[in-house]
Amino acid sequence: MKKIILITALMTALFTGQLLAFVYANHSCLAYNDCDLPEGDRVVGPPIGGLIIDGAGYFLKSHAQVLMLLNKVELSELHGMDYAGMQALVKDALENMEKAGETYQSLIAAAKQTPL
Please write the tens of the pLDDT for every residue from 54-97: 999 999 999 999 999 999 999 998 988 889 999 999 999 999 99
Q: Note whether residue 49 is domain-resident.
A: yes
From 26, 11, 6, 10, select the one nearest 109 (Cα to Cα).
26
- 14 found inside a domain: no
- Look at residue 49 in the predicted model and tell me its pLDDT: 83
Evaluate whether 58 touches 100 at the Cβ level (below 8 Å). Answer: yes
- Indicate the average pLDDT of the chain: 75
- Smallest CA-to-CA distance from 107 within 39, 54, 58 is with 54
Distance CA 31, CA 26 (A): 7
3-state secondary structure of 103: helix
Counting the structural domains of the chain, the total is 1
The whole-model pTM stands at 0.59
Q: Place 116 in a pLDDT band, splitting at 50, 70 and 90.
A: low
> pLDDT over 90 for what percent of the chain?
39
Q: Is 90 part of a structural domain of the chain? A: yes
Distances in Å between the Cα of 98 and the Cα atoms of 11, 15, 104, 112 are 10, 11, 10, 21
Please state, in angstroms and as integers, the Cα–Cα distance from residue 34 to each residue in 17, 30, 37, 39, 67, following that order.
29, 6, 8, 11, 36
Phi, psi angle pair for 32, to nearest 5°: -95, 0
For residue 22, being part of any structural domain is answered with no
16, part of any domain: no
Rounded distance between C-alpha atoms, residue 97 and residue 12, angstroms: 10
Instruction: Answer yes or no: is 72 within a domain.
Output: yes
- Kindly state whether residue 57 falls inside one of the protein's structural domains: yes
Domain interval for residue 40? 2-9+27-113
pLDDT at 25 over 50: no
Is residue 20 one of the residues assigned to a domain?
A: no
